[in-house]
Amino acid sequence: MAIRIAVTGAQGQVVTSLLERASSTAEIVALGRPKLDLMDRDSVLSALRDSRCDAIVGAAAYTAVDKSEQEPEIAMRVNGAGAGFVAEAAAELGVPLVHISTDYVFDGTAARPYREDDPTAPLGVYGASKLEGETRVLAACPGATILRTAWVYSPFGANFVRTMLRLGETREEVGVVADQLGNPTSALDIADATLAVVTRLAQDADPALRGVFHMTGSGEASWADVAEAIFARAAEHGRAPVRVRRITTADYPTPAKRPANSRLDNSKLARLHGVALPDWRASLAACVDRLLAAAPPRGA
């Protein structure tokens, strides 16, 4: 019988990807606002109780990194307290919980990819609110599994790939920071991996499968590398060439500080869950192909 997985959020990149990748072995029940509002504890508990789920994936979040600097209370309520309400429901229902978190819990000063037990020190409100969420999730549901991912893109919603393709429609050159390193990750790959993890958790009570794990696309990049790969692939689709000017973080001031190095070490997930995500370049090319196949060039 298919495992019934309740997911928080209805239209986010990861939720949409889970809906697309769900197979005959997994049924996704996507719970978004107004039925489930992370700012409203009662709605979270009642939506999850009503879902008759076998497992929960906490994917909804306040993800506007810069805007969160102006709206710290909302970010904290959604990503901190809200994540805790979801964990409370998982504990009450006695079902496995996978909670999605972020590389932005780190300050980026390490000279190597971060491991799960490295000290956290978020630079901005978004990262701090997601860290608060991790703490609350583990307090309310000690058997939860937290998957920290990073730099998520997909054919859906708002993300860096879609921003670059949009800018490339009207510009010959785009300045992109080359001194922030991370792991670009396809939401569709996150969906495949999350389904594997959650299905295993529903069958296996091993405590080693619980706790914090890093889960990103394989391989590392700067944002400028990602932009170059996007425009190179777009050119293969006949799009006008776009140059990437490799700039520094100081050249591109933003309200929120971002980590210079937020590469994550995924070896714990591979060792204990047997899960590894594909190389970011292959998944990024597939995403660009899909977006451009759906949208003919301007003026065509």
Ligand X SMILES: NC(=O)C1=CN([C@@H]2O[C@H](COP(=O)(O)OP(=O)(O)OC[C@H]3O[C@@H](n4cnc5c(N)ncnc54)[C@H](OP(=O)(O)O)[C@@H]3O)[C@@H](O)[C@H]2O)C=CC1
Q: Which two tokens stand for residue 230?
A: 């996007």
Among 65, 75, 100, 131, binds ligand TDO (CB under 6 A): 65
63 touching ligand X, by CB under 6 A: yes
Please choose, out of 14-22, 40-48, 72-80, 174-182, the segment that lies near ligand TDO by the rule CB under 6 A: 174-182
88 Rama sector, left if φ>0, alpha if ψ -120 to 50, beta otherwise: alpha
Secondary structure of 45-73 as H, E, C letters: HHHHHHCCCCEEEECCCCCCCCHHHCCHH
CB of 109 to ligand TDO, least distance (A): 16
Among 3, 5, 7, 12, binds ligand X (CB under 6 A): 12
DSSP code per residue over 73-136: HHHIIIIIIIHHHHHHHHHHHT--EEEEEEGGGS-S--SSPBPTTSPP--SSHHHHHHHHHHHH
Q: Which is nearer to ligand TDO, 102 or 218 (CB)?
A: 102
Angle between helices 280-294 and 187-203 in degrees, nearest 10 = 120
Which residue has the CB atom at the shortest distance from ligand TDO?
A: 102
Among 6, 174, 212, 275, binds ligand TDO (CB under 6 A): 174
Q: Which two tokens stand for residue 80?
A: 């901190």
CB of 74 to ligand X, least distance (A): 8
Cα(88)–Cα(118) distance, integer angstroms: 26
Q: Which is nearer to ligand X, 9 or 113 (CB)?
A: 9
Q: Which is nearer to ligand TDO, 72 or 175 (CB)?
A: 175
Cis-peptide into 119, omega within 30 deg: no
Among 5, 7, 28, 37, binds ligand X (CB under 6 A): 37
Among 104, 106, 156, 280, binds ligand TDO (CB under 6 A): 104
Please choose, out of 17-25, 150-158, 263-271, 282-290, the segment that lies near ligand TDO by the rule CB under 6 A: 150-158
Residue with tokens 């998944």: 283
Report the half-sphere exposure of 164 (CA within 13 A, side-chain side). 35
Cα(59)–Cα(76) distance, integer angstroms: 15
Count interface residues toward ligand TDO (CB under 6 A): 19
Q: Which is nearer to ligand X, 48 or 150 (CB)?
A: 150
Catalytic residue among 62, 114, 126, 153: 126
Q: Known catalytic residue: 126?
A: yes
15 touching ligand TDO, by CB under 6 A: no
Among 13, 17, 63, 129, binds ligand TDO (CB under 6 A): 63
Cα(59)–Cα(97) distance, integer angstroms: 11
Binding mask 233-272 for ligand TDO (x = CB under 6 A): -------------------x-x---x--------------
CB of 299 to ligand X, least distance (A): 30
45: how many CB neighbours lie within 10 A of its CB? 17
DSSP 3-state of 181:
strand
Contact residues: ligand X, CB under 6 A: 9-15, 32-33, 36-39, 59-63, 78, 100, 102, 130, 149-152, 157
Catalytic machinery residues? 126
